Amino acid sequence: MTIADAQQQVDQWIKAVGVRYFSELTNMVILTEEVGELARLIARKYGDQSFKESDKDKDLGDEMADVLWVLICLANQTGVDLTEALHKNFEKKNKRDAERHQQNEKLK
C-alpha cells in the first residue's frame, strides 16, 4: 500500500463508516492521545518502566498504526498530500543534514 492509497482508503472508510471527519482540533487532540499511548508502550517495552496489567496485551504495530491513521485523517482534511510532503521533507533533510550526522561524535 502506498501513502496515497492509505490516504484514499482512510477517506473512504471515514465517509462510509465514520460518517464524517472529526474537526481538525479534535483530531489533533486524538493524535496526541495516540502518540501518548505509543510512548507509554515503548517506555514499558524498551525503557525502565514495568508493564501494568492493562498494557500487557498492547501491540506496538497497532499503536503505531493508530498514530498513522489519525495523521492521515489530518492530512486528508487539511489537503496535505503526504507523499509529496514526504518527498519535500527528504529534500530538506538531504540539504540540511548532508554532513551533520557524520560529523556528530555522539553517533560514532
Q: Kindly report, residue by residue over 36-58, the tens digit of the pLDDT.
A: 999 999 999 999 988 888 888 89
- pTM for the complete prediction? 0.89
- CATH number for 3-81: choose from 3.50.50.60, 3.40.50.300, 3.30.160.270, 1.10.287.1080: 1.10.287.1080
d(CA 87, CA 10): 21
Residues of the chain below pLDDT 70: none
Angle between helices 60-78 and 24-45 (to 10 degrees): 160
Q: Cβ(63)–Cβ(36) under 8 Å?
A: no
Q: Give the domain ranges of the chain.
A: 3-81
